[in-house]
Amino acid sequence: MDHSEALRLKATERYLLNELDPEQLDQFEEHMFDCPECAVDVRATAMFVEQSKTILSEAQGPAPVKIPGKPTKGWMRWLRPTYAVPLMTALLLVIGYQNLISYPRLRHALSSPQVLPWASLNVGTMGSGGPEITVPQGKGFLLFVRIPPEPAVKKYVANLYNPSGELGWSLTIPVNIDKDQTQDQWPVQVPGTHWAPGTYSLVVQGTTTAGETKEVGRTSFDLKIQ
């Protein structure tokens, strides 16, 4: 998926609404790792949705005192000035903040060159002696993942598990089986988020042209937060 197709499909909005089919989801996630603009849009839109939920809950305030009379039912109560005015004011403030401050900051951060912490991982060498990565809080890092070539594999899926054994994210790595499978290392950019320190496991599965899925190998690394 290229950027023009992502815009045509409105992939950012549909991604956050879980409206992409599995194939489109894999293609958009692969594109997002290489497209700073789409990554910014997804992150900023997600932030806006979360802040809007908070504002909506706060705008309702404490439960109103019931006064005898004809009740206002359903969603029509939100059209009353008591609710509509503070709600619209709050949403306008959020939109202004996103457009004037958050969006420019995110775009500048993703478009500026930077040196990221990194480590090389060899799939199939799972053990206690994995590499160590030291990352500032909230920053991303790079993983150079070496996967032993497997015949007839059309794609790999890399699953990252946190120190508690929970799945952190999955990444689909397509393979061009029409060419010689000489590539055995892929650079993976791990986005910045609130990572917990500890030992992470990377499990790689391969899907063959016949549709069979098998584990190719696994490895681990230790993450430290500054």
pLDDT tens digits along 134-172: 998 878 899 999 988 887 888 899 999 999 999 988 899
* Both structure tokens of 177: 């089986």
**For the chain, where do the domains classified as CATH 2.60.40.10 start and end?**
118-225
Residue 67 has pLDDT above 60, yes or no: no
Q: Tell me the pairing of strands 185-190 and 141-146.
A: antiparallel
Q: In the prediction, which pLDDT does 149 show? A: 81
Element (H, E) at 216: strand 213-225
Residue 40 has pLDDT above 50, yes or no: yes
Instruction: Residue 106: name the closest of 140, 69, 58, 59 by CA.
Output: 140
Say which CATH class 118-225 falls into: mainly beta
Mean local confidence (pLDDT), 184-207? 87
Mean local confidence (pLDDT), 202-211? 90
* Both structure tokens of 31: 């594109």
Q: In the prediction, which pLDDT does 166 show? A: 92
pTM: predicted TM-score of the whole model, two decimal places: 0.53
- 26 or 180, greater pLDDT: 26
Q: In the prediction, which pLDDT does 219 show? A: 92
Helix (H, G, I), strand (E, B) or coil at 8: helix
- Answer for the pair 195, 156: CB distance below 8 angstroms, yes or no: no
